[in-house]
Structure formats: structure tokens, C-alpha cells
Amino acid sequence: MKFYRDKLMRKHNTLALQARADAFVCVTNDDELLESLGWARTEGVAVVVLGQGSNIVLAGDVQALVVQQAVRGIEVLDTLNSDVILRVAAGENWHELVQWTLQQGYYGLENLALIPGTVGASPIQNIGAYGVELQSVLLQVHARQIADDKPVTLDNAACQFNYRDSIFKRECKDQLVITAIDIQLSRRSSVNISYPALATFFAERPDVEPTPQTVFDAVVSIRRSKLPDPSIEPNVGSFFKNPLLRSEMAALLLAKHPGLPCFSQADGSVKVSAAWMIDQCRWKGHRADDLGVHPQHALVLVNYGSDSGAQLLALASEIVSSVHDAFGVELEVEPRIYGLNP
């Protein structure tokens, strides 16, 4: 294990923004994690946990020890009649986990194929796509407290999952390093193709039977056709969350803007499409100062060669203001921002 001082971070975030971290270490086992946390306490520096940097914006230098969590390992904890329980270490790659589970005949993660990043980051925003969220399979999150190394376990309810949200973004923010998650998957083949894009995909191909494998293939194919590859066009996926509105507010908005895509939620709120509103404000395809909004996907901000996370945030603010002026709705940025001066 090597500690780096003054580490350049461009390679460690999928927006390819340049910034320096005061110190950086990549940990591949629990002992290395403990040594790193101890080092940070001795040096009196803060700790920032990093996975693969696919949901962060580096708006300036990071005054902290950046601990990249790279501990690997998948363990079958229990095999029940129709289910299996797995413990997956935080440094595993999420998409590789999805592929591995499918190969083993463990089902439930297909809709979450091709989401970049690590398993350890997956509970932070309760990753979700194509009608499925992590919370539907997650049993427990295992972590260590940054302050004193103490191991802690949070069950599903304790994680307080919501749309792109969890306790790890609120009360537990910057308090824990997630070390592993336990998930429960099915050994019986069943699929969820209720999400409109998936339903359409299979409706247009009546000869393709929806199976976990074909759903996985469909998700991969739809995502590849829609989302830019960060290694070619640096991005963090959706830059803004879809706003959740009270049903009365959504009804008023819909009356004014009949084209606005709306999705009723179980708790009575209504999720409205941020992409549609941004598109209506004519941001799609905007490009200036080597930064822009993807021509096919209004939610995706792309770094075409800028070093400046601060400029990217300035563009994001302009988008937020114009959507607010046009629709009276406040967009919220999805990725975590680091390096802003207090």
C-alpha cells in the first residue's frame, strides 16, 4: 500500500476533471483500510472515500486523504430454497457483479446492468435503473466508522433508502467506509420489464422471450444507445435528479405543460422528468468552454476537455435557474461535489 501526497485526480473521476488531493491511498484489504484511517487521524486530515469516481464532481482541490476502496471478494452466505444470500466486498465492480450473478443463475440485478462504479458506492444513492433499485435486494450494509474504526452493520430499514437517496447522504455522510453489502437474489428466473423502455423493447421483438439474460442484454443495448461512454465523453450519467413533487403541484404543472412526463410514486408524490424540462429550456446540445449538455441526453453534462469543475458547476447553476424560471421547479444535483472552498 502506498500513500501519495499531492495526488492528481483526473484519472480517478469519470468527468476527467483535474484537481489535487492532499493525500491518496488505494486499499485492497481491511488491514490497509485500518492503517489508512489511523494515518488520517494521526495527521489530522479528513477522509474522503472514493470508489471509481463515477458520481463525483471535483470542483477544486480536495483537502483530505482520499481512500479508494478496492477490497474485492464475493461470498455465498446461504442458499435457501429459491434464494441465495451473497456478501459482496465494496471494491467489486458493480457491472461485473451483475454479470457474475447472472452466470451463476442468481437473478434480480439484470435491470441494473452497466451502471458504472463500485459495489461499496451502490447504497449511497440507492442506485436504480429500468424500474429496479438496490433497495429491493439489499439486506445489510457493513461499514467501519471513520472516527474510530468501529465496525457497524445497517439493515435495509436503517439505510432509509429513497429515490437516489439514503442515510449515507444524510446522517451518516462522511462518517462511514462501506466495506461490504449483503444481498438476497432469486434462484428462480423472473423478470421485471414494467419500465416503459423495456416494455417497448420486448413489445417490438415478440420473438424474444423476456428472461433474465434477455433483460440484461436489452438493458445493456438500450443504455449503450442512449448514454455516452465516459471514457470517450467524460460524464457522471444523470447530473440532476428527477424532482419529486406533491401531487397537487404536479397536477398544476401538468395542466400548464401537458407534455411533461410524470410518474406516480408509492408514497403519493409524483416524479417529473428533469430531462424534459431541461430540453424544453433548449439546453440539449449546448456547448461552451469545453463543457456542454449531451446532444441526445439533456440530463448528461459532458466535459469535452475542461479542467474546471467550478465552471461545470456554473453551467449546472445556469440550467437550474432556467428550469426554475420556466417551471418553478428546483433541480437538485445528483453527484457529490468535492473541493469547494467553504
Ligand X SMILES: Cc1cc2nc3c(=O)[nH]c(=O)nc-3n(C[C@H](O)[C@H](O)[C@H](O)COP(=O)(O)OP(=O)(O)OC[C@H]3O[C@@H](n4cnc5c(N)ncnc54)[C@H](O)[C@@H]3O)c2cc1C
If the CB atoms of residues 55 and 327 are measured against ligand X, the closer one turns out to be: 55
The CA distance from 28 to 20, in Å, is 22
Find the binder of ligand X among 36, 55, 303, 308 (CB under 6 A).
Answer: 55
If the CB atoms of residues 37 and 260 are measured against ligand X, the closer one turns out to be: 37
Find the binder of ligand X among 36, 54, 111, 242 (CB under 6 A).
Answer: 54
Alpha-helix residue ranges (DSSP H) falling in the chain: 30-43, 94-104, 196-203, 212-226, 247-256, 274-280, 309-327
String of b and e for 2-22 (b: at least 16 CB within 10 Å)? eeeeebebeebbbbbbebbbb
If the CB atoms of residues 230 and 292 are measured against ligand X, the closer one turns out to be: 230
Catalytically annotated residue among 133, 136, 164, 308: 164
164 is annotated as an active-site residue:
yes
Find the binder of ligand X among 17, 22, 37, 51 (CB under 6 A).
Answer: 51
Find the binder of ligand X among 108, 212, 230, 309 (CB under 6 A).
Answer: 230
Catalytically annotated residue among 92, 110, 133, 334: 334
If the CB atoms of residues 41 and 169 are measured against ligand X, the closer one turns out to be: 169
Question: Count residues contacting ligand X (CB under 6 A)?
Answer: 33
CB of 237 to ligand X, least distance (A): 3
String of b and e for 156-169 (b: at least 16 CB within 10 Å)? beebbbbbbbbbbb
The CA distance from 28 to 6, in Å, is 21
Q: Which of 78, 62, 83, 80 is nearest to 13 (CA)?
A: 62
Residue with cell 471514457: 231
Catalytically annotated residue among 36, 122, 238, 273: 238
User: 84 in the Ramachandran plot: left (φ > 0), alpha (ψ -120 to 50) or beta?
Assistant: beta
- Sites for ligand X among residues 73-132 (CB under 6 A): 90, 115-118, 120-122, 124-125, 127-129
Residue 227 touching ligand X (CB under 6 A)? yes
CB of 122 to ligand X, least distance (A): 5
If the CB atoms of residues 41 and 324 are measured against ligand X, the closer one turns out to be: 41
The dihedral over CA atoms of 250, 252, 256, 259, expressed in degrees to the nearest 10, equals 30
If the CB atoms of residues 68 and 327 are measured against ligand X, the closer one turns out to be: 68
Residue 234 touching ligand X (CB under 6 A)? no
Residue 69 touching ligand X (CB under 6 A)? yes
Find the binder of ligand X among 236, 281, 301, 316 (CB under 6 A).
Answer: 236
- With contacts defined by CB under 6 A, name the span among 47-55, 145-153, 244-252, 285-293 that binds ligand X: 47-55
CB of 64 to ligand X, least distance (A): 10
CB of 299 to ligand X, least distance (A): 10
Output DSSP code: residue 242. P
Q: Is the dihedral of CA 275, 280, 285, 286 positive or negative?
A: negative
- Other beta carbons less than 10 A from residue 45's beta carbon: 14
- With contacts defined by CB under 6 A, name the span among 174-182, 213-221, 239-247, 288-296 that binds ligand X: 174-182
238 is annotated as an active-site residue:
yes
What does the block give as the cell for 126? Answer: 440507492
* Residues making up the chain, counted from first to last: 342
Residue 336 touching ligand X (CB under 6 A)? yes
Find the binder of ligand X among 167, 178, 293, 312 (CB under 6 A).
Answer: 178
Contact 57, 9 (CB under 8 A): no
The CA distance from 193 to 150, in Å, is 41
Q: Which of 165, 200, 168, 199 is nearest to 181 (CA)?
A: 168
Please give the residue ranges that form the binding site for ligand X (CB under 6 A): 14, 48-56, 69, 90, 115-118, 120-122, 124-125, 127-129, 176-178, 227, 230, 235-237, 336
Active-site residue list: 164, 238, 334
